[in-house]
Amino acid sequence: MSSDLLAMIAAERRRIADLLDSLTPAQLDTPSLCGAWTVREVAGHLVSPLVVSPWRVLPLVLRSGFNLHAANARLASQVARRPAGELAAALRTHAEHPFRPPVVGFFGQLTDVQVHGQDIRRPLGLPADLDPLRLRTSLDFLTGGRAVGFVDRRRVAGLRFESTDLGWAAGEGPVVRGTGEALLLTLTGRRVALPELDGDGAAVLAGRWPG
């Protein structure tokens, strides 16, 4: 199973590399769906665990007051200063790098790469074109109770999620229905896909969103 997951991750990294090679400087500097990061900084985040030694991360953690999210943002910003072609090359060169994040492992890494790919594509108006098997694998992970740091459990509790294009479903309760890509984004906290969902649970889910 680990080898299958690593092959999926490698395919997604190569896919992001191809995408980066196709973007203009203006597109690279476009705000992504991921917080305050630009497209270029999202790419920096995806590349950083593949090319940066853990020993280089420690000073960033210290400077960030042991706030791992802040340290991660600093690191992404630093790596993103590299030319886009270099970022793409790093993703290809290290496509099969066995980076396994703590707790969430390869499932988390696969999901991270797929979600951040959409963080890039959506603002640029590019098609999702996600692989169905890899998407289903991430949806199973996100709804399986182990996606620490990916999913707000209180927000999705007591709901059933059904994909309209994958024949996939998980959970019990009022139904939230949409494409697999829309569910992927919504489960990981991207409210941009909320208007694309329907079913009795869609309004319940939207009502749990802050602001």
The pLDDT value recorded for residue 106 is 97
Threshold 0.85, pTM exceeds: yes
Question: What is the strand order of the sheet 160-163 is part of?
Answer: 169-170, 160-163, 175-178
For the residues of 169-183, what is the DSSP string, one character each? EE-SSSEEEE-HHHH
Task: Tell me the pLDDT band of 210, cut-offs 50, 70 and 90.
Answer: confident
Q: What is d(CA 203, CA 197) in angstroms, rounded to the nearest whole number?
A: 9
The pLDDT value recorded for residue 69 is 61
Instruction: Give the residue-averaged pLDDT of 63-73.
Output: 54
Residue 167: strand, helix, or coil: coil
SS3 content of the chain, % helix, strand, coil (to 5): 60, 5, 35
Instruction: Give the residue-averaged pLDDT of 60-65.
Output: 48
Q: 23 vs 43, 139, 187, CA distance in Å?
A: 12, 28, 27
Instruction: Give the residue-averaged pLDDT of 168-175.
Output: 98
The pLDDT value recorded for residue 40 is 96
The pLDDT value recorded for residue 102 is 83
The pLDDT value recorded for residue 60 is 47
